[in-house]
Amino acid sequence: MNKRSLYHFAVDTFLRLFAKSIGYKINYRCNNNDVNSFYNFLEEYRDVSIGENFVREYIEYGFQYYTNDGEVSTNMRMSWIFSKNAIKRFKNGGNLKKYRIRKYKVKNKIKTISSKPNSSIVNEVRLYEENCKKRFFNGKRGLAWCIAMTSLYFHKSSFCVNCVYKDECKEIEKINFPNVYKSRGYK
């Protein structure tokens, strides 16, 4: 799994757990600290093959730490979970790590968030991607930003449908991501 996909998965997992912990969905926008802390986390574990299961367990451990007293601050940031101190806590968690995660999940009635098959991921409108598309919508940097930060053209996205670069974007998607292109029903 590449860094970008893992980052998307981490953001989605963080948002699901955050919403579950506070009891409602929030409008959350990742800032530079969030992004940098996640890439520092990947750098810290560069010698280890990490995937969705490891990232999910790591985030669940982080939430367990911040919700020990039962409440989560609505100001919580993804960078808290992926900070250098959080990485040290996770590494030093030892055998109690899995027990604490399980206890946290049972207490908060959180089911394991399983990874979805790619077809369901690419065929849903994702809030994270919509925010990325909105950032430079129809601007000079719009297409480049979408190429770097999203899964490209998607007919269910209102931004994609109204974008001036939709034809170029769809063509790039067809060439570079043929499985995504076919999964979305384009021919």
**What digits encode the pLDDT tens for the residues 48-75?**
778 888 888 888 888 888 776 566 777 8
- Measured CA to CA, the distance from residue 126 to residue 94 in angstroms comes to 35
Q: Is the pLDDT of residue 124 over 60?
A: yes
Q: Supply the Cα-derived Rg of the chain in whole angstroms.
A: 18
Closest to 127 in 3D by CA, of 51, 31, 27, 33: 27
Is the C-alpha dihedral spanning 160, 164, 169, 171 positive or negative?
A: positive
Q: What is the pLDDT of residue 70?
A: 61
Q: Each residue of 158-178: b (16+ CB within 10 Å) or e? A: ebbeebebbeebbebbbeebe
Contact 66, 80 (CB under 8 A): yes
Distance CA 178, CA 176 (A): 6
The span from the CA of 171 to the CA of 187, in Å, is 11
Question: Residue 102: is its pLDDT beyond 60?
Answer: yes
pTM to 2 decimals? 0.56
Q: Where do runs of H (alpha helix) occur along 72-151?
A: 78-81, 84-91, 96-107, 118-122, 127-135, 142-149
Cβ neighbours for 174, distance < 8 A, ≥ 6 positions apart: 181, 186
Alpha-carbon gap, residue 166 to 183, rounded angstroms: 18
Highest mean pLDDT among 23-27, 91-95, 164-168, 183-187: 164-168
